[in-house]
Amino acid sequence: MVRLTGYLQKSEMHTETLDLSGLPVRLAASSSEQPIVVPVRAAEYKTPSGARVVLAEPGIFTGSAPPKGWRNLVLRIDIPPSAKQNSPLYAKYQQPPTISWHIEHKPRPQPYGYTTRPPVAEGPLRSEFTEVAIPVRPVRTKQGWVIPELKIEFTHIVRFGKKYPFERYVQVARQP
């Protein structure tokens, strides 16, 4: 038996996806000699509500060392306050949503994880963006190197009403 506890609450979600599959990149090494990939040209992508993803040469942050045979791609992600106001859920409920992001890419190293650095307000590492280093395995095509599949989902959630606690006991089958 396993005991599950938590809360139930009414909510509504809206998802916006940036599909960066096929992104052209070039192979490089960071200043600390880590293997990285760099977009062929700097670009900024925006969701309809205004969340931003910036692809450019990484600065000092290149994340932790990727697994052997992989390279890090550094993205800068920003969710400005205006993105909450431009959300379709804000227009519908007059309540600012919580916006989170999730990165989906294939193939993935095992074990899988990416490194993040939150925005820094002051100092030489000042940035308004959350920086994310993702281990990727670029694929060679006739035109050069590309990232095979890379999607960034921004999920908007508005919660309303009371939280209702719940507790359940569930039978779990044992594996031999």
Q: What is the mean pLDDT of residues 51-65?
A: 83
Quote the pLDDT of residue 124.
57
pLDDT in tens, 137-167: 999 999 899 998 999 999 999 998 889 998 9
Quote the pLDDT of residue 47.
95
Helix count and strand count (H, E) for the chain: 2, 12
> Is the pLDDT reported for residue 8 higher than 80?
yes
* Contact between residue 14 and residue 154 where contact means Cβ atoms under 8 Å apart: no
Q: pTM for the full model?
A: 0.81
Q: What is the mean pLDDT of residues 39-58?
A: 89
pLDDT in tens, 71-83: 989 898 999 889 9
Q: Which of 2-6, 94-98, 115-119 has the lowest mean pLDDT?
A: 115-119
Quote the pLDDT of residue 17.
96
Q: Which residue has the higher pLDDT, 119 or 84?
A: 84
Q: What is the mean pLDDT of residues 20-34?
A: 88
How far, in Å, CA of 100 to CA of 74, rounded?
Answer: 18
Quote the pLDDT of residue 126.
57
Quote the pLDDT of residue 122.
67
pLDDT in tens, 112-124: 677 787 777 666 5
Look over the chain and give the mean of its residue pLDDT values, rounded to a whole number: 87
**C-alpha dist (Å) from residue 1 to 5, 85, 166, 174:** 13, 45, 16, 10
Q: Which residue has the higher pLDDT, 119 or 70?
A: 70
* Contact between residue 18 and residue 151 where contact means Cβ atoms under 8 Å apart: yes
